[in-house]
Amino acid sequence: MQNTNQLMLKPVCDLLTEKFFIPAYQRGYRWTPRQVRELLEDIAEFQQSAEENPKEQFYCLQPIVVKRHGDEWELVDGQQRLTTLYIILLYLADIAAMMGQPRYSLRFATRPDSEKFLTNIDPARADENIDFYYISQAWETVKAWFEEKQGVYKFTFLTTLLNDAKAGRNVKFIWYQLHESAEATSVFSRLNRGKIPLTNAELVKALFLHANNFTGTGTELSFQQLRMAHEWDDIERRLRQPDFWYFISNANDADQPDNRIELLLKVIADTLPLSVSVHDPYYVFLKFSHYLQSNKSDAQATEHLWARVKRLFMTLNEWFENQQLYHLVGYLIGQKVTIQKLLNLQQSSGSKSAFLAQLRQEILAIALPEAAKAPGQNLRKNIAAAIAGAGYGDKNLRALLLLFNIATILGNDCSSMRFQFRHYKLDTWDIEHISSVSSQMPESTAGQKSWTKNIVEHFSPDETLAVKDERDNSLQTKFYQRASTLLDNEIFNNDEFEKLFNDVQKAFNKNRNKDLENSIGNLTLLDAETNRSYKNAIFPIKRQRIIAADKNATFVPVATRNVFLKYYSRQVHDMTFWHPEDHRHYQTAIIETLTTFFCGALS
């Protein structure tokens, strides 16, 4: 008795002598002419390209899920595809007969009229019921499509469709056979809710756990399968830990795979033979299936392939556990450098120190591409020049500011702090001006009220920042009083708001140097939600928000926190303004930190 699901690739020709029945719980045939034509076009496109490719090449149809019932197969999923293929074979029946090819049968458990109509399609009866209508549409589509082709093309198409494994260049189904104790109706329900794991990962898992892939029997066989299944699940659990997953993956919430091990399988699949389009939805499965089929004479092929998956996982885990590798690799993956490229770098480096140096070289080329082109002896000078010249709008500015955070953490060998790639990848990030350059007044009354409320909260008597100049302190008190009056009025006075807004901008931007506004010394990374919550805010309000976020354990990049706490400023005499000297000290800190980061490793 079969007690596990079985998975294999089957040529269409292997199905021709089979009997299928469509159970009562399934709806009737509903493919549209567009879907029928797309299937024909896909097979035709494969046929044309396959003529110049190795005979091992094949076109893969979506999975069909079946369960054995005596001499018939219950068609749990794949009715639409198998019925469409049946209609195509029916249209080409004369040629198939000349080739000596039979045609599989389709039985409808509760719709005998549809079953009979399918064997003798008459479009004149299309209006008799909904099944007849869609079957007739499909028939007419197939007929019209072949009539557009040259006469001999029917034979060429059918040959490709029905070639066996020996002839190659054929069409195959992913055949997913349920074990005998499986409840077909439950599986069908899960399929239609998108819950059954017919993903690449689960298909590959079924390949690995197939009994034919192991050399033992009985208890020994069960132990081997159980061991591999446990190892698979352990890896999947680790990949579901957010900090580890977002270290190696850039997927957002909407793109999360059902089985995260698929990321590892994709890395391995990219190295396996067989020309398959990377856009094929079953690219990973097809690569693994072809490899195991090609090496079926090797009793250890499955173990060797699974060992590669485990080695890859252990390598990624090792990178995660190491403080330097975690940050350097995490940064590069976040910049879309592939895991395979990083593996190649590690293999070619020969030692851990050489690997770390190679990673820094890759980072330099991404964050400071102009400096990376300079000769080694001029590296320090060129790094400083590239950073000093960076400004708002530069395409690699985000990568540069992110790197400053990474280099700040790695600059302290005693620190165990880790950059939170999970938050960085899941949140939306802005490049924020430290001292606002936008004097655009909020247009809506709601926006004006929000801005005014910020002024009241910041300049309230209990929270007013002490400053050296009593006149400035008095001015802040007046701003508080004017803002409070605006909010207390029954009707919000937009004209008075405009006057307040202009006066505040004038007072807090009096030291502005327009030449420095968009340079790197006035820019930092901030999550979009925090940034946009204080649009057009003056520096002390921005600073207040950053402190509040940090107190509440909201992720604030270390360099962003340091900026608003003025840790980079060498003489802090005023926390209310972002002065030109603060700008220069911050820019100098970036230059010194990144120069040490690169030149300490590369020179």
Rg for the chain, CA atoms, rounded: 33
When pLDDT is cut at 50, 70 and 90, the band that residue 168 belongs to is confident
When pLDDT is cut at 50, 70 and 90, the band that residue 538 belongs to is confident
pLDDT in tens, 56-109: 778 888 888 899 989 999 998 889 999 999 999 999 999 999 999 999 999 988
Which residues neighbour 425 within 8 Å (Cβ) at sequence distance 6 or greater? 246, 249, 250, 252, 334
Structure tokens at 100: 């000596």
Q: How far apart (Å, rounded) are the C-alpha atoms in residues 240 and 39?
A: 36
When pLDDT is cut at 50, 70 and 90, the band that residue 117 belongs to is very high
Q: Is the pLDDT of residue 270 over 60?
A: yes
pLDDT value of residue 471 = 44
Which residues neighbour 475 within 8 Å (Cβ) at sequence distance 6 or greater? 507
Q: Is the pLDDT of residue 394 over 80?
A: yes
Q: Is the pLDDT of residue 585 over 90?
A: yes
Q: Is the pLDDT of residue 422 over 80?
A: yes
What is the chain's percent helix, strand, coil content, to nearest 5? 60, 10, 30
Query: Residue type for 194, please?
Result: G
pLDDT value of residue 576 = 72
Q: Is the pLDDT of residue 374 over 60?
A: yes
Q: Is the pLDDT of residue 588 over 70?
A: yes
Which residues neighbour 441 within 8 Å (Cβ) at sequence distance 6 or greater? 448, 498, 501, 502, 536
Q: List beta partners, residue 177.
A: 6, 66
Of 119-123, 333-337, 523-527, the one with minimum mean pLDDT is 523-527
Query: Residue type for 291, please?
Result: Y
pLDDT value of residue 470 = 46
Beta strands 105-108 and 523-527, pairing class: unpaired
Query: Residue type for 2, please?
Result: Q
- Global pTM value: 0.73
Cα four-point dihedral sign 344, 345, 350, 352 = negative
Do 537 and 530 contact (CB within 8 A), yes or no? no
pLDDT value of residue 251 = 83
Highest mean pLDDT among 182-186, 378-382, 574-578: 378-382
pLDDT value of residue 8 = 82
CA distances from 506 to 222, 532, 564 (A): 78, 22, 21
What value does the mean pLDDT of the chain take?
Answer: 85
Choose among 87, 175, 103, 99: nearest CA to 137.
87
Q: Is the pLDDT of residue 602 over 90?
A: no
Q: How far apart (Å, rounded) are the C-alpha atoms in residues 340 and 309?
A: 13
The DSSP call for residue 68 is E
Do 358 and 345 contact (CB within 8 A), yes or no? yes
pLDDT value of residue 377 = 66
pLDDT (mean) for 213-226: 63
Helices (H), 163-211: 184-192, 200-209
Which residues neighbour 222 within 8 Å (Cβ) at sequence distance 6 or greater? none
Do 62 and 167 contact (CB within 8 A), yes or no? no
pLDDT in tens, 439-472: 567 788 888 888 888 888 877 775 444 444 444 5
Q: How far apart (Å, rounded) are the C-alpha atoms in residues 168 and 47?
A: 11
pLDDT value of residue 148 = 92
Structure tokens at 68: 């054995």
When pLDDT is cut at 50, 70 and 90, the band that residue 535 belongs to is low
pLDDT in tens, 178-199: 877 777 776 666 666 554 556 7
- Taken as a whole, the chain contains a residue count of 603
Q: Where are the domains of the chain?
A: 6-196, 430-600
Of 109-118, 367-376, 589-598, the one with minimum mean pLDDT is 367-376
pLDDT value of residue 467 = 44
Cα four-point dihedral sign 61, 66, 72, 74 = negative
Q: How far apart (Å, rounded) are the C-alpha atoms in residues 402 and 2?
A: 54
Please report how many Cα atoms fall inside a 13 Å half-sphere around the Cα of residue 372, on the Cβ side: 12
When pLDDT is cut at 50, 70 and 90, the band that residue 249 belongs to is very high
When pLDDT is cut at 50, 70 and 90, the band that residue 332 belongs to is very high
Determine the straight-line distance between the first and last CA of the chain, rounded to whole angstroms: 67
pLDDT value of residue 186 = 67
pLDDT (mean) for 543-556: 83
